[in-house]
Structure 1
Amino acid sequence: MVFHFKKSTPNKDQMMITFLGKDTKFEGKLKFHGNLRIDGHFKGEIESDGNLIIGEDGMLEANVHTAYISIRGEVYGNIHADQRVDIRAPGKVFGNVMSPTVVIDEGVIFEGQTRMYHAKDAAEKKPVVIGVNEYTGGPPPNLTAIYGFVLDQQTGKPVRNAEIICKGQDKKETQANSSGYYEIINVKDGLWIMKIKARGYKTVKTKVEVIAGGTYKQVFNLEPRKKIPEENLVPAE
C-alpha cells in the first residue's frame, strides 16, 4: 500500500501534519511533501523532499530518504537525508546514516555508521525546522575537510578549547576556537573515529566515513558533568 500526503497551501507558519498518532500502526510505502510527524509505529519505506519528525513515542522500521529528519523515538533502518539529520535524546537509531550534516546529542543510542558527503545544492535548500545554527563559511572547498561546532547541550553556547581528535589512516588533532568552531583539513577518504573532549563535559565519540572528497560538517552537543569552568564558555554579548 502506498500513502501520499501533500500540503494544500504551503506556508512556513502552518502547523505540522501528524501522520501517525500514539498507539497507531501503519505498514506500506509512504511519500509526502511538507512536514510530517510520527508518534506511532510505521513499518515499510519512506521517501520525501520534506521534513520528518519522529516523536519520543514513535517507532520506525523502515529505510528513509528525506530532506531533513529529527529523531527522538526509535528508528530501525538506514537514513539518507539531503540536508541534515538530528538525533536528539532519548532517541535510538539502529542503522547507517548518510547526510551532509549530522547532529548527534549526548545520551542517544546510535548503532551504525555515519556517512557524510558534500551537498552540492546545500545553499539552495534549507530545512524549515529549527535546529543548530549552521555556519555560513567553512574550510576552502578545494580541501577535503571535516568541520563544525562544539556546543553546550543545555545552553547552546559554544564550548571553546574543546579537543577534537580524529583517527583514521593517520591521526589529526585540533581545538575549537572562541566560537566553538573547528576544522580538520586534508582528510583522506575512509572511516574516521572522532573523539571530542572538554573540561567539565562528558567525552563524545562517533564514527564518520568520508567519501568522494569535499567538505563535511559535524556538530557536537556536549553534556555537562557538573559545574562548567567559565573559561570554557563564551559569555553572552
Structure 2
Amino acid sequence: MFNSNKQEDKKATTQLVTSSNVISKETTIVGNITSQGNIRIEGNFEGRLESKSKIVLGDSARVKGEIFASELEIAGKVDGVVTCYGLLLLQKTAHISGDIITEKLVVESGAHFDGKCQMGTTQKQSAGRVAEKQEKATVA
C-alpha cells in the first residue's frame, strides 16, 4: 500500500522534471519563474528565470534580467547576467548584453556578446556566491 504511493510520487516527480514550460511569441511576462523542468521562451520575459533543467531561448525571445540554468541554449536577445552550470550554447542569432558565468561555452559564428565571461569548474561556486549576494541585495 505504501510502496505504490512512493512509486506514484517518484513518477510524478519524474514527469515534473521532464516537463516543458513554454512562453510563446506575443506573450510578455514580468516577474520570476522557477522550475524543476525545462523552459522554452519565444516571447518576452523580464525578471529572474531559473531552471534545474534546460532553458531554451528561441530567436524571437527577449529576456531582461537574470538567468540560471543547468543547460542553456540562446538564440534570442538577453540583457542581464547569464549563469549556466553546464553547457551554454550561443546560436548565431544570439545577442547577449551582460556577464556570463558558465562551465562550458559554445559560440556559433555570428553570435554577439558584450560583457565578461567566467568559465571553469570553480564557477559553480562563484555563481552561487553571486546569486546569494543578489538575493541579499533584493531582500535588503
Identify the TM-score tier after normalising by the shorter chain. Answer: 0.7 to 0.9
TM-score of the two chains, using structure 1 as the length reference: 0.44
1:56 equivalent to 2:59? Answer: yes
Say what the alpha-carbon RMSD is for the aligned residues: 2.2
1:75 match:
78
CA contact (8 A) 2:84 2:101 kept: yes
Q: Secondary structure of the residue that 1:10 maps to in structure 2?
A: helix
> Quick one: which amino acid aligns to residue 80 of structure 1?
T
Question: Is the 8 Å Cα contact of residues 38 and 51 (structure 2) preserved in structure 1?
Answer: no
Q: Deviations over 1:16-61 (max 9, x none)?
A: 6242100000010110012110000000011221100000111110
Instruction: Give ranges in structure 1 of 5+ residues lacking alignment.
Output: 1-6, 122-237
Contact 1:82 / 1:119 at 8 angstroms: preserved in 2? no
Q: Which residue of 2 aligns with 1:27?
A: 30
Instruction: Give the deviation of 1:119 after TM superposition.
Output: 5.4
> Which amino acid letter does the alignment assign opposite residue 79 of structure 2?
Y
Q: How many residues align?
A: 112
Where does residue 10 of structure 1 map in the other structure?
Answer: 14
Which of structure 1's runs of 4+ aligned residues deviate more than 3 A?
Answer: none
Task: Pick the aligned partner of 1:65 from 50, 63, 68.
Answer: 68
Alignment correspondent of 1:98: 101
**What percent identity do the matched residue pairs reach?**
22
CA shift in 2, pair 1:120/1:88, >3 Å:
closer
Structure with the higher helix share, 1 or 2: 2
Q: Distance in 2 between matches of 1:78 and 1:120?
A: 14
- Take 2:123 and 2:62, find their aligned partners in 1: how far apart are those partners? 31
| TM-score with structure 2 setting the length | 0.72
Assess if the C-alpha contact under 8 Å between 1:10 and 1:34 holds in 2. Answer: no
